[in-house]
Chain A
């Protein structure tokens, strides 16, 4: 293993941690809004880290570009869908969770 391998491993493991945290949040948080919060933040950063980890291994800049494109699209979709879900929940009258 050379240094770049270590770097990408570290980045990907960090990404996985974010995913784990996000998933935990999805399962454990009390209402729709806080779950969305946990999910989107964690996944966006987590995916970013994974993409970076993979980019280190990439053979060409074109591949890096494609990876970035994936990340961007997921960001866009994740944000939009989270917004739609939250708005739908509000419209249905689901109340915010308060302690």
Chain B
């Protein structure tokens, strides 16, 4: 084993070990806990940068451990892995800072940060998985480590949300497991391979493969919140804001979407999947989800709930992008993985800030909040515009490529979906912005806390600003090297053009 083989393992360990240690820390060891958290996040970031540089220069980072007699646990840093990995790593760092500020003085912090780290470990594992069983392993670990975060508050509502989350994910996990084993009995391998590993399979297996595809997508669709499997997501917003941020932008939802990308590209292969005729129904499902989520978001007064439905809608752009099955749409879908993450995390941070500082939970309470918390609301505004798809924020880039891709693939109906969705996005985001910036504030905020002369604590303010700036930057510097768009093009090339 050379050093390159160790790096993926180290990436995993850099959050796993701090997490395990944190479990055993006493509640009041705040400084040590913070140090561990941040150190882990920074080390991970450094390792990831190292790998980014390496992969760009054609290095291979791969860890293999035997798991079952003929199956290995494979961690491999390919371009697609790295895209998701980088996103999670950066956002973990940011969210950690945010969570430290957010959970100041609340109980059970060791437990929280322990599971928090486990959750990131699982996400990173999902990103690095080199075959389907490794993916499955981390996917389930993700379920287990997020459940305590969802129910962290311990209230009755939280308990019910947790239950709903579990019912959905356990059920989904079972389907995924079934699909995976079945696939394995047919092929004898589960290794992620560009353009899939099913091409050699005979004609007689087609019906089975269609069912397997459905099983896998159903299993992943639970986490990716595809309609009608989305029920848990709006409920799960009772979790603390950093958790929601993580759930919606990085960990759970993204893992589902990422899994769908993996299944279509590296298990079935785009062409093979299209040949099976399964991508088109998926595209329709994604389109339905996009419209449905947007419509539901329109009628939510609870801010986090509105954002949750927005997530349902937005994540399906990724699914849509890969289901269109063309090179340009792929770029749009894959790059949206990153863009949506940055924008949505910004929005959730801001929602958390409003709740924590002023006790605002509902849209109707937000009148004039722009004057009280200008920085927060600026970040929020950037995120919201990104979601709508207005240039120059990153969201625009995704939608642009999706639209182009749909045209290129001859699926014009997608344009209407995109346009409709954008309109709806505008319809549920613009009123918020209008209320926040242009309406008179009420007499008193529901529950105000003061932080000296700042609008809120620096640990709460900094993260959304950073992510908002990044979202902006990715939109404006989309053609720079190492930009998400660049990577997405790199990935698309590999899937479609390389022999």
> Are any A and B Cβ atoms less than 8 Å apart in their complex?
no
Interface residues of chain A, those whose CB is within 8 Å of chain B, are: none
